[in-house]
């Protein structure tokens, strides 16, 4: 089974801090994704990566950046955390073909105080 591991289940940070969310997958998948999930809005794509050192903006990239130095690891960075970034963050990975499902981690519930 594919395993996508997010480093923290719960995280509390302060406004203005730089926040790192880490994600690791063990299936040698080319694609990796970061979403945020908010009630009533479903999942919204922040950034995705289709190869090492490659990244593409999703629908809501403002205030975020990403890093993919190794194929198995995809990091989401909140440059200067703000209270409106309080949310559930989900990482996913998939193989290269568009008809393959994405596999999700259990999420990080991030609170910005």
**Residue 101 near other proteins by CB under 8 A:** yes
**Residue 52 near other proteins by CB under 8 A:** no
Q: Which of 13, 67, 103, 111 binds other proteins (CB under 8 A)?
A: 103
Binding residues for other proteins, total number by CB under 8 A: 30
| Contact string (CB under 8 A) for other proteins, positions 5-44, x = contact | ----x---------------------x-x------xxxxx
Q: Which of 68, 107, 110, 112 binds other proteins (CB under 8 A)?
A: 107
**Residue 99 near other proteins by CB under 8 A:** yes
Q: In the numeric block, which tokens belong to residue 111?
A: 């609170």
CA distances from 113 to 14, 22, 67, 85 (A): 5, 20, 25, 10
CA distances from 86 to 39, 50, 58 (A): 12, 26, 18
Rg (CA), the chain: 13
């Amino acid at each position: 089974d594919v395993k996508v591991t997010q480093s923290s289940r719960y995280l509390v940070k302060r406004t203005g801090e730089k926040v790192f969310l880490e994600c690791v997958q063990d299936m040698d998948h080319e694609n990796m994704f970061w979403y945020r999930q908010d009630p009533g809005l479903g999942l919204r794509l922040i950034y995705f990566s289709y190869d090492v050192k490659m990244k593409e903006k999703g629908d809501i990239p403002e205030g975020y950046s990403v890093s993919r130095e190794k194929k198995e690891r995809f990091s989401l960075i909140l440059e200067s955390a703000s209270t409106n970034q309080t949310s559930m963050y989900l990482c996913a990975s998939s193989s290269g073909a568009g008809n393959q499902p994405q596999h999700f981690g259990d999420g990080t519930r991030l609170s910005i105080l």
